């Protein structure tokens, strides 16, 4: 029971801290549009991000049973952690908060004649969302570890937070930067645990698969 509570807590933290880059890209793209197009751009950007998360979640769920996938997934998650560290250093959350506020304020951001189309803004958002959605799904899937209920909760929460509380989250992370550092620590721990199991697990680890070690039974019981 306590393990499940801790895992849900990890998912909530991961969703919070991984929403910064998504909010920054959507906010900046929307702020560059004329005021009458901004709300539509933000809405479409959120929808695109939500759809991509669902697609990646289906793919991730089908891949979880592939031998060796945990180890290579852990390498990707460590890359996510590195990117998150860079974002904390570059104060992405503060920039995202300002971008979202500018996009939501008709008198802020770009207010002249249209200098880019809605389609060009959505293309920019979609290209960025591919990477960001993959980051989010990878982190949640690693924590859920095959638990479909937990995976659905994590992705559903990410979509809800992104759609209804993005500005509030950015303000929270800007005001309390220790939350971002705590999230980075949690994700680094998850990546390290994932790598350990991905190498040493007797049934799916790359160590036993390559004949390097005998391996251990490290499967999680849900």
Q: Domain boundaries in the chain?
A: 2-209
Residue-averaged pLDDT of the chain: 76
pLDDT interval class at 220 (50, 70, 90): low
Q: How many whole angstroms separate alpha carbon 153 and alpha carbon 219?
A: 22
Q: How many whole angstroms separate alpha carbon 95 and alpha carbon 171?
A: 10
Give pLDDT, residue 221. Answer: 46
| Centroid of chain to Cα 79 | 12
Q: How many whole angstroms separate alpha carbon 62 and alpha carbon 107?
A: 47
Name the pTM for this structure.
0.75
Q: How far apart are the first and last CA of the chain?
A: 10
Lowest mean pLDDT among 23-32, 47-56, 76-85, 109-118: 109-118
Write out the H or E segment, with its range, that includes residue 6. Answer: helix 2-17
**Is the pLDDT assigned to residue 222 strictly greater than 50?**
no
Q: How many whole angstroms separate alpha carbon 29 and alpha carbon 13?
A: 26
Any idea how long the chain is?
222
pLDDT single digits (tens) 106-115: 555 555 555 5
Q: How many whole angstroms separate alpha carbon 97 and alpha carbon 65?
A: 39
Q: How many whole angstroms separate alpha carbon 58 and alpha carbon 145?
A: 14
Average confidence (pLDDT) over 75-94: 81
Q: Which of 183, 134, 158 is nearest to 10 (CA)?
A: 183
Average confidence (pLDDT) over 32-47: 76
Share of the chain above pLDDT 90, in %: 0
Q: Which residue has the higher pLDDT, 171 or 178?
A: 178
Give pLDDT, residue 62. Answer: 74
Average confidence (pLDDT) over 20-49: 73
**Is the pLDDT assigned to residue 13 strictly greater than 80?**
yes
**Is the pLDDT assigned to residue 102 strictly greater than 50?**
yes
Count the alpha carbons within 13 Å of 8 in the hemisphere toward its beta carbon. Answer: 12
Give pLDDT, residue 133. Answer: 79
The maximal CA–CA distance of the chain, rounded, in angstroms, is 67
Q: Which of 15, 14, 10, 38 is nearest to 162 (CA)?
A: 15
pLDDT single digits (tens) 103-141: 666 555 555 555 556 777 778 778 777 777 778 888 888
**CB neighbours of 142 closer than 8 A, spacing ≥ 6?**
73, 74, 77, 190, 191, 194
> With contact defined as beta carbons under 8 Å apart, do 208 and 38 qualify?
no
Average confidence (pLDDT) over 55-83: 80
Give pLDDT, residue 197. Answer: 81
Greatest mean pLDDT among 13-27, 80-94, 183-197:
183-197
């Amino acid at each position: 029971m306590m393990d499940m509570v801790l895992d849900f807590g990890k998912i909530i933290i991961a969703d919070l801290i991984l929403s910064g880059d998504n909010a920054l890209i959507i906010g900046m793209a929307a702020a560059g549009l004329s005021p009458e197009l901004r709300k539509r751009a933000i809405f479409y950007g959120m929808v695109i991000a939500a759809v991509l998360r669902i697609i990646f979640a289906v793919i991730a769920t089908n891949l979880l049973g592939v031998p060796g996938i945990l180890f290579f997934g852990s390498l990707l998650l460590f890359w996510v952690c590195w990117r998150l560290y860079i974002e904390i250093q570059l104060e992405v959350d503060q920039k995202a908060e300002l971008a979202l506020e500018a996009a939501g304020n008709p008198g802020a951001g770009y207010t002249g004649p249209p200098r880019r189309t809605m389609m060009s803004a959505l293309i920019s958002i979609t290209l960025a969302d591919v990477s960001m959605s993959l980051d989010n799904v990878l982190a949640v899937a690693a924590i859920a570890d095959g638990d479909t209920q937990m995976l659905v909760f994590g992705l559903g929460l990410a979509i809800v937070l992104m759609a209804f509380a993005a500005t509030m989250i950015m303000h929270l992370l800007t005001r309390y930067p220790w939350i971002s550092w705590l999230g980075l620590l949690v994700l680094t721990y998850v990546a390290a645990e994932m790598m350990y199991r991905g190498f040493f697990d007797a049934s799916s680890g790359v160590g036993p698969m390559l004949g390097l070690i005998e391996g251990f039974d490290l499967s999680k019981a849900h």
